Structure 1
Amino acid sequence: MATEPTFEDLIRSAQHSAYHLEMRDAYGLDDDYQEWESGNRFDPAERWPWWIEVASASVARGVAMHRARIVSEPISRYIRYEYELTSGHNVKAGEVVRWLPRRQASGLALPGNDFWLFDGTSVLFNHFAGDGTMTGEELVTDPAVVELCSSAFAAVWERAIPHEEYRPA
């Protein structure tokens, strides 16, 4: 019986692109967030070296890694945490990150869940509980769903502000 590929399998096997769309204002308030909230501004590259390795290896073999975040403004404390860690974590790993204020996304058709889009052929949806805890993933290869996510990501990306230029409200 074949098993579903893991997220790490999918990202390591991506050939051209790995695009991630995040649309929540908070995710699980784990120990790392709690530590940051208490004032410890740790180095994310030291905290999560596995991501630096996986993402930078993907970028080195020519995979475009793009992450777009749709955020409410004024931003939540959790988004402030993500924003402050982005340069030392996501950008350092080779990702290109953009931010889209939610009020600028009103005219966009968006799927109901955060997702990763791999090579324009498969979508890995991330499912969350109301408190931001991840409850599971769902791999979808249906061409109509892939196209919806591809066009949604492209529309967000076109409107979004590069991380280096974004100043959260």
Structure 2
Amino acid sequence: MISETELAEYFMNFTSSAFRLETLDVYRVDDETEYFERFMAGGEFPEDWHDNPWVRSITESGRKLHRVHVLRTPLSDYLRFQLGWGYPGNVHDGEDIGIIDLSEREISGLPDHDFWLFDEVDVLRMYYADDGTFEGAEHLSPSRAPEYIAYRDFALSTATPYTEFWSRYQKRVE
């Protein structure tokens, strides 16, 4: 099983593109705890979240970063936090984020688990505990890359751009 530290090496070493499929309603990330609590208490959006230096370091180097989150509205508290506070800085700094809302339409043909695809070669299947805590990743056989490239392409072609989804969602909940 690949640890979080070992996972970071894939981000340092990929040369052209990284894609993430997200499927969970909650991710427990220790670095986010304080911010999530502030969000839940109705606090102000943190100034330092208007951009994401980590994303910017990737996109300014000419590498592409894509993500599609498969979810279902109404959004969990965590997803409202992630989409409202986490994603805007990432998008600002060049990450391409899409949303597939399964409450709007049923989509088949995607896996029921998270994964990263690096440079169309390295596929990492992500594992999480029931509470959203990262447990590790499994490096899948290179022979599985075409399958995950097809998942990526389908997810990207099916997803609604984040900014469009978020604008529409906010109008619905106002």
Q: Which residue is 1:160 aligned to?
A: 159
Mapping 1:69-84, distance limit 5 Å: 69-84=69-84
Mapping 1:10-159, distance limit 5 Å: 10-28=10-28, 30-43=33-46, 46=48, 52-103=52-103, 106-144=106-144, 146-159=145-158
Q: In structure 1, give the amino acid aligned to 2:148.
A: C
Contact 2:71 2:101 in 1 (8 A): yes
TM-score, L = length of structure 2: 0.80
Q: In structure 2, give the amino acid aligned to 1:115.
A: F
Q: CA RMSD in A?
A: 2.6
TM-score, L = length of structure 1: 0.82
Structure 1 residue runs of 4 or more that deviate by more than 4 Å after TM superposition: none
Consecutive unaligned residues of structure 2, counting only runs of 5 or more, are none
Contact 2:49 2:85 in 1 (8 A): no
Q: How far is the alpha carbon of 1:32 from its aligned partner?
A: 2.8
CA distance in 1, matches of 2:148, 2:117: 7
The structure richer in helix per residue is 2
CA distance in 2, matches of 1:67, 1:147: 18
Q: In structure 1, give the amino acid aligned to 2:146.
A: E
CA distance in 2, matches of 1:143, 1:93: 33
Give a deviation string over 1:28-58, Cα, whole Å, max 9, x none. Answer: 27343222111223327x2698xx3332122
Q: In structure 2, give the amino acid aligned to 1:158.
A: S
Consecutive unaligned residues of structure 1, counting only runs of 5 or more, are none
